[in-house]
Amino acid sequence: MTDSLPIPLSAPLTPAQQTMLVNLVRRAARAEIMPRFRTVTRADASTKSGPHDLVTEADHQAEAMLARGLQRMFPHALIVGEEAVAAKPTLREDVSEAELAFIIDPVDGTWNFVHGLPLFGVIIAVTRFGRPVLGLLYDPVSDDWVIADEAAPARMATVQGAERLVRVSGGGALAELQGYIHFSLMPKDRQEKLAPLLPALGRCNALRCSCHEYRLLAQGAVDFVMSEVLNPWDHAAGVLICQQAGGVARMLDGRDYNTSITQGTLLSAANEATWLSLKDHFACLLES
């Protein structure tokens, strides 16, 4: 891991570099995340934006280990972690200006982690000028991952070497669609607009973990993910993986997703027809 691995900026990471990235994430999970799972308590956690936005030593230490390893591997890349941005918010703005950036969510689903639920993950996104070009969604509990880059389809892999392609669902009629909406994170006025529209859908909830929400979307278990909290460490990897699993991911107003976008509604769906159906159904969210 000490060798510098130059990367041509016109291409995604090589297979060897992707393997080294996965190995780094797995080591950080073994060293800094899993030993703390079900030993850390709510009293050990700090809060950030609100009482349910938790952070623990697992977040801080895993991010530090990942950032050190990535900087050694890619010395000319910008390395941006969720906790680093919490301490210095202007770091987020640097991502869209960087030719090569790695965005780290060291423990996505910290609330679940703190409360002993095995529903959390590590997210790594690679971007070029804010556009996702590689995504990694790693589950430390199962020790498996979903990965994709812009030149290859999304696939799920395990440490045993098994690998299979993943594919989004076929979508369906509005009343049959199942998905995740980050309803509780929306302002009250937005919730009031959205709430009357939810019964028309098959099923809507949230897992408190974007890593697993996007993994399930890519595997065809649900039909969409929608969010208005546009933290790039939550969404950049999932957007790319959704697209490379055959889905459609863009802003509700039609813009392509980019980490520079801080306001709006991000909708990732199984296919174009499903995306358009949901866009029409949620058209009120486009009103000012």
Question: For strand 78-81 and strand 266-269, is the pairing parallel, antiparallel, or unpaired?
Answer: unpaired
pTM: 0.93
| Displacement of CA 55 from its chain's centroid (Å) | 17
Q: pLDDT, tens digit, for every residue of 82-136?
A: 999 999 999 999 999 999 999 999 999 999 999 999 999 999 999 999 999 999 9
Q: How far apart are CA 249 and CA 269, in angstroms?
A: 6
Q: How far apart are CA 242 and CA 39, in angstroms?
A: 34
Q: How far apart are CA 192 and CA 269, in angstroms?
A: 23
Annotated binding site for Mg(2+): 82, 105, 108, 234
List C-alpha distances in Å: 163 to 64, 152, 258.
29, 13, 29
Which one, of 128, 203, 135, 139, lies nearest residue 169 by Cα? Answer: 203
Angle at Cα 194 formed by Cα 51 and Cα 173, nearest 5°?
Answer: 125
10-residue stretch averages of pLDDT, the chain, 288 residues long: 42 88 98 95 79 86 97 96 93 95 97 96 97 98 97 92 94 97 95 96 97 98 98 98 98 97 97 98 90
Tabulate helix, strand, coil % of the chain (nearest 5): 40, 25, 35
Phi, psi of 135 (to 5 degrees): -135, 140
241 and 214 in contact (C-beta within 8 Å)? yes
Q: Indicate left, alpha or beta for 171 from its phi (over 0: left) and psi (-120 to 50: alpha).
A: left
The full set of domains in the chain, from first to last, is 15-165 (3.30.540.10), 174-285 (3.40.190.80)
Annotated binding site: 82, 105, 108, 234
